[in-house]
């Protein structure tokens, strides 16, 4: 028996919440493949079970003497079959029928019961109340949902006969994919590149569509553990009617791959993205930087106040806090509560105030070479029509991340893709932001099964788990259908079609706004869930956009004070006179002096009244911004608006009272004493006692000596070679660029 193997990706912050576990016995018997999401101190982790090979119904695990088929049997559902007496509370994980998950034929042959929607096998017909206590949702809620035979998939209108098709219909239905297939589009003639940790081209789901010659030299995953890229690829081009797994959205598209994530990568991001760009139509990227990361150990003096959370909320920290949130017990309870994605989703305003207790953020600017690469792809790719570049929005919503923290997602050259769960609701892990263009199915941790995918090196199938990683390739698949329908679409045309045809979901969500062109946009969903049929229909007779145009407006020197009070916003407006123009994306460059930009709420208000939150406040990012540094922020909320009128920038410091870790202002110099040369920096000055460890006053920008050696709001500490701090936080100037095209009507 081989030990369970964990598919785990840590490099470059691959956007993956749950992953596939698999094993096989030494005799070559069918192995079990499934994943279970659990929580350990608020952090999602995965475990796998260890059930023994094939077995007939009525037999039991050799380590257990109880009858696990009885209703009285309890279950731990921790993914492990415990030995000895513990088996009495572990009937689910010791169920030998679980060996046939993702294998209907083996399941019914063994006398077990098959759940088509979950690709799940069990020794008894599990009803929904079985999963309720584990906060899991099954698609088989009644006895009749469980099958004892394997026939044609029940929900595919006879399109494809793939054995696990039914387990994918939830995603196909949300995206209206089957209606696009009815129109006869399957991605023929379209080339899709997956840039990831490698793709197993030997898998039967992928091998007939794989283009080795136009892949990078390094395209295979190094080990069976590196299954992320193979999973993503199968969601795009998984072969149809081959008796293996399910089917991709564009099963007739061509696939190539580059390995740019993982250990011993020998190629740069720019090299991978542009490799064989002359033949690549679509670039799918489910990777990116983690701008905000969990630390769980940050300290801050909390004010004495009542618990701000709903005391009736499940697992509310108020029980530990009582009437005073200053205690360490309360701090730990808040961190545990807010670091769970579902809790942050439902209590975002309250949790945002405490992000600095468990998260550190460092905003990432795009390397100039990478920025030039994206520009090259859209200007030269597809013979000048532009490569369609997609990026997953990321999975750190509970850490306060936003698409404007990620330079890949927030680039106007890319399509930012967020994730929804099986109900079409925003997936609690999915990063929001003004740069999200659309959303697609990614799954969520409460589901028994999320995404049926190909697993590397064994020709098998598994559950990828949930993540924006799996929403992104699904949109890439839809774009392949669009380009088959109309190969003359430019990269901006594709963005415009997706924005115009996306379907609003969960309209009661308070983040939806209607822009000046009548389109609805949400920082969680973008313009909505991609509608494959609507997008393909619009593509067929689409009126191609004219050349990209831009309106550049500069403020000049304004030197406006940024007040350390959330009720005193700094505002400034720029006027646009152009009337025959259709807006697409809008990019801002802010020249500000501020010690802790994570405290700033930055908003842009269009002439139509559309408000884009470009940066949410209360983020633990304490980089001191120098006057020569320009902060780039992007929004897609203004698609199709008329830009004529006043555009207003509004900045407010929402956290004037926060006390956070103080960081030194950069300082290094060289002095010469008696012929010897000495390098002097802040640490040396402090140790020698030459430099006060003071801080900036939150309001006036002056030293407060009484706070020496204590933590402070500003990240610009007093060291700095003994230099006086600059007076106050200020908006020096700003530039706005509205990208779009000429209005033809």
495 touches 416 (CB < 8 A): no
- The catalytic position among 469, 555, 585, 606 is 469
Residues 6+ apart with CB under 8 A from 5: 21, 22, 23, 224, 225
Burial class (CB in 10 A: 0-12, 13-18, 19+), 115: buried
282 touches 193 (CB < 8 A): yes
218 touches 265 (CB < 8 A): yes
572 is catalytic: no
- The catalytic position among 191, 228, 615, 741 is 228
431 touches 416 (CB < 8 A): no
Kindly report the three-state secondary structure assignment for every residue of 280-309: CCEEEECCCCCCEEECCCCCCCCCCCCCCC
| Sign of the Cα pseudo-torsion (218, 387, 463, 120, in order) | negative
How many other β-carbons are positioned within 10 Å of the β-carbon of residue 499? Answer: 23
| Residue tagged 């095209």 (tokens) | 741
- As a whole number of angstroms, the distance between CA 51 and CA 96 comes to 6
Residues 6+ apart with CB under 8 A from 668: 679, 680, 681
228 touches 197 (CB < 8 A): yes
- As a whole number of angstroms, the distance between CA 130 and CA 281 comes to 46
The separation between the first and the last C-alpha atoms of the chain, rounded to the nearest angstrom, is 69
- As a whole number of angstroms, the distance between CA 388 and CA 377 comes to 8
Query: Residue 492: which of 534, 541, 547, 538 has the closest Cα?
Result: 547
- As a whole number of angstroms, the distance between CA 228 and CA 199 comes to 8
The DSSP element (H or E) to which 170 belongs, if any, is helix 169-174
- The catalytic position among 103, 196, 406, 655 is 196
469 is catalytic: yes
228 is catalytic: yes
Give me the active site residues, please. Answer: 196, 228, 469
């Amino acid at each position: 028996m081989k030990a369970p193997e964990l598919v785990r990706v840590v490099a470059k912050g691959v956007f993956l919440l749950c992953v596939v576990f698999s094993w096989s016995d030494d005799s070559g018997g069918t192995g079990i493949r499934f994943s279970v999401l659990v929580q350990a101190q608020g952090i999602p982790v995965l475990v796998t079970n260890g059930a023994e090979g094939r077995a007939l119904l009525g037999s039991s695990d050799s380590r257990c003497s109880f009858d696990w088929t009885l209703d009285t049997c309890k279950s731990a559902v921790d993914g492990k079959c415990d030995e000895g007496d513990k088996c009495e509370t572990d009937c689910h994980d010791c169920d030998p029928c679980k060996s046939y998950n993702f294998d209907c034929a083996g399941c019914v042959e063994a006398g077990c019961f098959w759940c088509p929607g979950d690709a799940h096998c069990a020794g008894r017909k599990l009803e929904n109340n079985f999963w309720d206590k584990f906060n899991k949702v099954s698609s088989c809620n009644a006895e009749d949902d469980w099958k004892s035979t394997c026939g044609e998939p029940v929900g595919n209108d006879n399109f494809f006969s793939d054995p696990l098709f039914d387990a994918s219909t939830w995603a196909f239905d949300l995206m209206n994919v089957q209606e696009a297939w009815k129109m006869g589009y399957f991605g023929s003639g379209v080339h899709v590149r997956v840039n990831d940790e490698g793709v197993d081209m030997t898998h039967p789901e992928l091998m007939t569509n794989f283009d080795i010659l136009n892949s990078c030299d390094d395209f295979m995953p190094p080990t069976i553990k590196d299954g992320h890229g193979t999973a993503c690829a199968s969601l795009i081009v998984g072969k149809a009617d081959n008796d293996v797994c399910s089917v991709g959205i564009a099963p007739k598209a061509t696939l190539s791959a580059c390995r740019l994530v993982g250990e011993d990568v020998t190629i740069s991001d720019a090299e991978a993205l542009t490799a064989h760009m002359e033949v690549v139509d679509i670039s799918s990227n489910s990777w990116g930087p983690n701008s905000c990361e969990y630390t769980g150990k940050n300290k801050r003096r909390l004010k004495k106040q009542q618990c701000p959370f709903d005391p009736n909320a499940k697992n509310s920290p108020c029980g530990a806090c009582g009437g005073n949130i200053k205690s360490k017990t309360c701090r730990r309870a808040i961190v545990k509560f807010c670091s769970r994605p579902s809790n942050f989703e439902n209590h975002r305003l309250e949790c945002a105030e405490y992000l600095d207790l468990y998260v550190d953020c460092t905003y990432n600017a795009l390397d100039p070479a990478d920025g030039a690469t994206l520009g090259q792809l859209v200007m030269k790719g597809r013979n000048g029509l532009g490569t369609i570049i997609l990026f997953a929005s990321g999975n750190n919503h509970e850490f306060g991340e936003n698409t404007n923290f990620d330079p890949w997602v927030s680039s106007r050259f890319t399509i930012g893709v967020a994730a929804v769960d099986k109900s079409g609701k925003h997936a609690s892990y999915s990063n929001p932001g003004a740069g999200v263009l659309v959303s697609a199915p990614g799954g969520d941790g409460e589901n028994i099964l999320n995404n049926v995918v190909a697993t590397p090196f064994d020709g098998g199938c598994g559950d990828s788990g949930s993540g924006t990683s799996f929403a992104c390739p699904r949109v890439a698949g839809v774009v392949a259908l669009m380009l088959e329908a109309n190969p003359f679409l430019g990269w901006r045309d594709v963005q415009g079609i997706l924005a115009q045809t996306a379907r609003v979901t969960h309209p009661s969500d308070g983040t939806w706004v209607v822009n000046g062109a009548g389109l609805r946009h949400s920082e969680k969903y973008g313009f909505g869930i991609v509608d494959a049929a609507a997008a393909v229909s619009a593509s067929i007779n689409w009126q191609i956009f004219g050349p990209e145009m831009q309106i550049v407006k500069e403020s000049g020197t304004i030197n406006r004070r940024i007040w350390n009070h959330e009720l005193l916003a700094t505002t400034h407006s720029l006027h646009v006179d152009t009337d025959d123009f259709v807006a697409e994306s809008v990019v801002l460059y802010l020249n500000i002096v501020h010690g802790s930009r994570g405290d700033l709420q930055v908003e842009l208000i269009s002439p139509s009244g559309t408000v884009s939150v470009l940066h949410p406040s209360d983020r633990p990012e304490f980089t001191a911004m120098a006057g020569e540094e320009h902060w780039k922020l992007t929004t897609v909320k203004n698609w199709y608006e008329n830009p004529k009128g006043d555009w207003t920038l509004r900045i407010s410091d929402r956290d004037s009272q926060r006390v956070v870790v103080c960081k030194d202002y950069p300082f290094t110099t060289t002095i010469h004493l008696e012929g010897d040369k000495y390098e002097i920096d802040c640490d040396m000055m402090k140790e020698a006692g030459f430099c006060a460890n003071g801080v900036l006053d939150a309001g006036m920008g002056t030293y407060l000596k009484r706070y020496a050696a204590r933590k402070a709001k500003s990240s610009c500490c007093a060291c700095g070679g003994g230099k006086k701090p600059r007076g106050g936080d200020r908006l020096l100037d700003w530039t706005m660029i509205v990208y779009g095209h000429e209005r033809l009507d």
